[in-house]
Structure 1
């Protein structure tokens, strides 16, 4: 994963500062470069090989499309008022930036002569339609950003070489059957900001997707935790939805999760035992919900380091809510527990309640204000 991200940064270094800043912000926000390695060698992520385009006359002498700026194998056409994909893009192009334009449709032949394309950015256009054969000749595409468009569904026949797909803030209401068929290298999927509810994710939508480790479905219309996402997820973000409760079977499938975000929902109840399926969890976000007590099972998560419970309805902290009675059960001490914005009276809490927290500033309270 680190190798892939390093190569991505190298490829983006020739692009406009706006794109650089956005991509580096994405890395920082998601802590991609600092993630812990997989526990088992069988979990090691395998990256598809990316062949280098052979030197051609195209690299030395080419005509840059109108309103674009071209460097060697990088074509920058953002903020140019384009209504369609420009023609005569150099064949050896590795990165094509078309963000912030007025493109409404991707035609069958738009990328026909770009076999070496590695990264394609179509962010913030007005795209409503992508031809089913538009990506047919792109065999090495790794990054595809389609955010902030008007797409009604996941495009058909996406390149099987994709490692990262961002399609947030569109009009997608449904993830259709086998939407990602054959995409065995897909690691990152961002599909937030779409009017997608739980029933809109078809049972077979992720069949064959074996290496997807990061999914964000934020700011959607989910009313419960989806139960048919890939089982090998490391990170799952479901914040800013309408989830009202966590049921016993919700996380049975996601035993590899180490980061879970359920913040900004309407969660009141978390069923006993529902967190027992997450033995490797290191960080959980439950802030800005309606949780009334510390979830049962928190204390049994031996690797859990950060718990976000601020801005809820917790009125009491029991002495064993966070720390197990047997200290040997907890393998890693908490680095942070946030409890501010709850009606709990912190002076009534026994100090032993936080005996497994590292550092004097590991617990955050603050004044409760209604």
Structure 2
């Protein structure tokens, strides 16, 4: 009995130890900890509404325009995609331009099922994993221009059945075999708005050629690594685009295009010496400030028919040709401040039917007869708010309002002497059918119709 009791007591003492050392529980605890660690690692860039999300991106702006929810996280130095649970409402447009995102990881946009546009331009993206856009079935617009992408698989675009606009230019594309499927996709006729303007950076034999124009059959051909680079460049089997005849810069290369909430192009501080070509017809705002555009030439903005605002300030501009603003029928705001303009040639402003704001400050306006056209035009368009129209020369008018100068000029003109001279010329038969009369008629024809004074008619009774 004593031995049996001792055995039972020993067994009871060993039971807790055995229970704690059960293999299942140990593995379960370790697995749970491991899973939690992995979850935290994956969720380092994801936060819920009650978590630290507000501390990570406090300056992101949530707004609603025309019923669409916008989340603006531009210029926030973000290195990841914030969680969809961060926002009060499901966004339709996600603006992430000018951040520090390097990799778009699998599932990075999970939860953003309502998104129709994503702007990721001007980041540092060098890699897009195949599942990065998983769940974005409503996405129509994806902006990836101005990044560091060398290759992109077609697989990454498969979750985007409604994609209509894809911007890929200004990336160092390496046009080799891994790009084959993407290039074939871009070249499908129905995908005309996917990958426009994107060009190869490597290899040398394909540098500068648009992705839409490369023969995909050539991408996967093996090349002798010992072959001379010069031979690659001159190989007749490869399409070589002819050097363009024009030297004008292309807007898609020098400017940053932002689609939402309105299409605008930022070409500021790009060292431009002339207005770039290729400004899309649907662009609403263009900023060309702080460049070196000294001369606006005829039809510089011919294709930009939807422009509402145009900023040409701080360009040291000296001359604007008559047809320079041709086609800008719907322009509302024009900024020409801080240039080197002395006057406007006749007709420069004639196409600006809906202009409502004109900035003219910081220009050395010369108050002589050449400035009268601008004042007359403003007089005929009283709805245009203008600023900065002050005389810079001659010295006696420095700082004076140009309108005041023109009114004073008209007041000082001897009207009584003008009338007596006109009456004398009209009534003196000796001046009829003379060279002086012909010269007067020619001058009247040359004068703009809306600036002409009402003609006087005299009834002469013949008896």
Whole-Å separation in 1 of the counterparts to 2:248 and 2:172? 10
The answer on whether the counterparts of 2:250 and 2:278 sit within 8 Å (CA) in structure 1 is: no
Query: Quick one: distance in 2 between partners of 1:97 and 1:280?
Result: 27
**SS in structure 2 opposite 1:199?**
coil
Within the candidate set 310, 313, 327, 2:361 is matched to: 310
Change (3 A) 1:116 1:247: same
Q: Residues 269-308 of structure 1 correspond to what in structure 2 (within 5 A)?
A: 269-294=319-344, 296-300=346-350, 301-308=352-359
- 1:97 and 1:266 mapped to 2: Cα distance? 34
Distance in structure 2 (CA, Å) of the matches to 1:334 and 1:81: 40
Per-residue deviation at 1:342? Answer: 4.4
Match of 1:65 among 39, 43, 68: 43
Shift of 1:286: 1.0
Determine whether 1:319 maps to 2:372: yes
Per the alignment, residue 151 of structure 1 pairs with 147
Change (3 A) 1:199 1:226: closer
Q: Structure 2: any 5+ residue segments left out of the alignment?
A: 1-38, 59-75, 174-182, 195-246, 408-463
SS state of the match for residue 323, structure 1?
helix
Instruction: Please report the TM-score for the alignment, with normalisation by the length of structure 1.
Output: 0.51
TM-score by length of 2: 0.42
- Aligned pairs for 1:172-191 (under 5 A) are 182=193
Structure having the higher helix fraction is 2
- Name the residue aligned to 2:268: 218
When residues 281 and 230 of structure 1 are mapped into structure 2, their CA distance, relative to the original with a 3 A threshold, is same
**Gaps (5+ residues) in structure 1?**
1-61, 184-196, 355-370
Return the alpha-carbon distance in structure 1 between the equivalents of residues 172 and 289 of structure 2: 17
Q: After the TM superposition, which residues 351-370 of structure 1 pair with which residues of structure 2 at under 5 Å, given as runs? A: 351=404, 353=406
Aligned to 2:108: 111
Cα distance in 1 for residues equivalent to 2:325 and 2:97: 41
Structural mapping, 1:195-206, within 5 Å: 199-201=249-251
Q: Distance in 2 between matches of 1:100 and 1:234?
A: 21
CA RMSD in angstroms comes to 5.6
Bigger RCO of structures 1 and 2 (CA < 8 A, at least 6 apart): 1
| Residues 97 and 261 of structure 1, relative CA distance in 2, 3 Å threshold | closer
CA distance in 1, matches of 2:367, 2:301: 26
- The alignment of Structure 1 onto Structure 2 pairs a total of residues equal to 263
Quote the residue 1:259 is aligned against.
Answer: 309
d(CA) in 1 for partners of 2:354 and 2:377?
A: 12
In 1, the alpha carbon distance for the partners of 2:77 and 2:372 equals 61
How far is the alpha carbon of 1:270 from its aligned partner? Answer: 1.1
Distance 2:96 2:322 in 1: 49
2:318–2:339 contact (8 Å) kept in structure 1: yes
Corresponding position of 1:230: 280
- What's the CA shift for 1:262? 0.9
Q: Distance in 2 between matches of 1:83 and 1:350?
A: 54
The Cα of 1:283 is off from its aligned counterpart by: 1.4
Q: Is the Cα contact below 8 Å between 2:109 and 2:136 reproduced in 1?
A: yes
